[in-house]
Amino acid sequence: MVLFTREHFISSDRIFEGKIFNVRKDRLERDDVAISREVVEHNGGVVIACQPERGRILLIGQYRYPIDEELIELPAGRVELGEDRFLAAKRELTEETGFFANTWKELAHMYSAPGFCNELLSFYQATDLEFQGKKLDEDEETDVLDVTLEEAWSWVKAGKIRDAKTVAGLGMLMHP
């Protein structure tokens, strides 16, 4: 079996440049065998486990165009190019829920789909909240849900919550 790594890189072609992500096609070669890898480049994202009080969690209902469905998710968003991840988490929490958190804890970092994408998600826990009002992007609309952590986890098990980053974030809180 031939294993291809970065040391076998020959060239790269930009296939697509977009607002949210780019796509490139890399050519790799080893022992006269050439392959290509398509890579989705993404600045990364932040996911916020926002807890108004112990045992409770804020979730958002949000329509997702690619699947033509409303999903229940943890507040989350894209990190802008060059933006500090923690500052992005603070910004996204207020944008999507209207809350500002005075206390933050970094939970974990994980890749969303490393087989084809370099997106790194950073998870934070936010507590000690103050309501300031939502500041949604022009293409966003969210419904904020305040539920018990147990209820949210039961929604995962029942298939009502199917967003991977939300399943992972709730799992971190349920099984610290």
Mean residue pLDDT of the chain comes to: 94
Q: Is the dihedral of CA 86, 88, 91, 96 positive or negative?
A: negative
Task: Name, in order, each residue with C-beta under 8 angstroms of 6's C-beta and a sequence gap of 6 or more.
Answer: none
Q: What is the pLDDT of residue 38?
A: 96
- State the pLDDT confidence band at 175, using cuts at 50, 70 and 90: confident
The Cα 108–Cα 122 span in angstroms is 6
Express as a percent the part of the chain with pLDDT over 70.
96
pLDDT at 109: 98
- pLDDT tier at 1, thresholds 50, 70, 90: low
In this predicted model, what pLDDT tens digit does every residue of 31-90 receive, in sequence order? Answer: 989 999 999 999 999 999 999 999 999 999 999 999 999 999 999 999 999 999 999 999
Asked if residue 135 has pLDDT above 90, the reply is no
Tell me what pLDDT residue 140 has. 67
Q: For residue 136, what pLDDT is reported?
A: 65
Answer yes or no: CATH 3.20.20.80 is held by domain 45-174.
no
Q: Looking at the DSSP assignment, which residues form a beta bridge with residue 73?
A: 60
